[in-house]
């Protein structure tokens, strides 16, 4: 995308500013979202891997000043979601908000691939059901352990739509985030049951495709997979294809 001017506005005033799947900024970045709260007030959901300044340049290309970032809300403390925290905090003086369970995880500093990440100063320790004001909007924090003990999703009613920033808890077409020996599947299922009750319209995951309508169906599909046999949890392409075709009456 070198030389191209990309403007990925999901909803009015809500932008995708990084995403590895799209090779939109550094491919190591998770999906990073920017909310324009008005009056020069910006909020970021996650900050990417922080490997280079491509996220900063992406924000500037949209016409925004990174110095106006007031807060970064991290969906969890995996390296590809928090790596940009310190650099952005140095530029803007923004506050960083992380679930309280993430603090001990940060202190362990067990980063993969020999990475050395400085995560910046954590200003706000979030809990389940906390509320965060972003401009004229209110974001509700939903603790969703499973992918990691500190995973959160962020729910808000925005421009008449029910929107969920899902981090790595849920992705399009019923895909899970990365699974490893520490994945807590019982907690994961309970977390998804909470999300299913929200009946969301828009799904903004930490990786992969953005879903802008009927997004609750993707949550329900993942919950169904976690409620059945182990093989159904693994996202085989043919399984997803079968689901897609069924929605179209095939």
Instruction: Answer yes or no: is pLDDT of 113 > 70.
Output: no
| Bigger pLDDT: 106 vs 212 | 212
Asked which of 154-168, 169-183, 188-202, 233-247 is least confident by mean pLDDT, the reply is 233-247
Task: Using a pLDDT cut of 90, give the percent of the chain over it.
Answer: 64
Report the pLDDT value the prediction gives residue 21, as an integer from 0 to 100: 80
Average pLDDT over residues 133-155: 94
Domain borders along the chain are: 9-247
Report the pLDDT value the prediction gives residue 175, as an integer from 0 to 100: 82
Strands 131-134 and 124-126: unpaired
pLDDT confidence tier of residue 1, bands split at 50, 70 and 90: very low
CATH number for the domain formed by residue range(s) 9-247: 3.60.15.10
Give the model confidence (pLDDT) of 177-193 as tens digits.
777 777 888 999 999 99
Q: Where are the beta strands (DSSP E) in the chain?
A: 9-11, 14-18, 32-36, 42-45, 69-73, 95-99, 124-126, 131-134, 137-143, 152-158, 161-167, 202-205
* Residue 59, CA distances (Å) to 65, 69, 74, 134, 179 in order: 7, 10, 17, 18, 31
């Amino acid at each position: 995308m070198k030389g191209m001017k990309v403007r990925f506005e999901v909803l009015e005033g809500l932008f995708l500013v990084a995403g590895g799947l799209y090779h939109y900024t550094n491919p190591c970045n998770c999906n990073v979202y920017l909310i324009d709260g008005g009056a020069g007030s910006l909020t970021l959901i996650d900050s990417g891997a922080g490997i280079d300044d491509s996220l900063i340049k992406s924000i500037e290309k949209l016409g925004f000043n990174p110095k106006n970032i007031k807060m970064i809300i991290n969906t969890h403390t995996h390296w590809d979601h928090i790596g940009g925290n310190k650099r952005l905090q140095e530029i803007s003086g923004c506050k960083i908000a992380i679930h309280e369970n993430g603090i001990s995880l940060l202190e362990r500093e067990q980063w993969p691939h020999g990475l050395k990440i400085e995560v910046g100063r954590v200003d706000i320790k979030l809990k389940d059901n906390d509320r965060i004001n972003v401009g004229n909007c209110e974001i509700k924090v939903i603790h969703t352990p499973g992918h990691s003990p500190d995973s959160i999703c962020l729910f808000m009613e925005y421009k008449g739509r029910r929107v969920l920033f899902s981090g790595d808890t849920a992705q399009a077409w019923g895909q899970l985030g990365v699974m490893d020996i520490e994945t807590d599947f019982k907690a994961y299922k309970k977390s998804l049951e909470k999300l299913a009750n929200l009946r969301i319209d828009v799904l903004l995951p930490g990786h992969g495709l953005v879903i802008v309508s009927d997004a609750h169906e993707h949550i329900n599909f993942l919950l169904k997979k976690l409620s059945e046999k182990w093989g159904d949890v693994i996202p085989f392409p043919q399984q997803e294809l079968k689901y897609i075709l069924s929605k179209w009456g095939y």
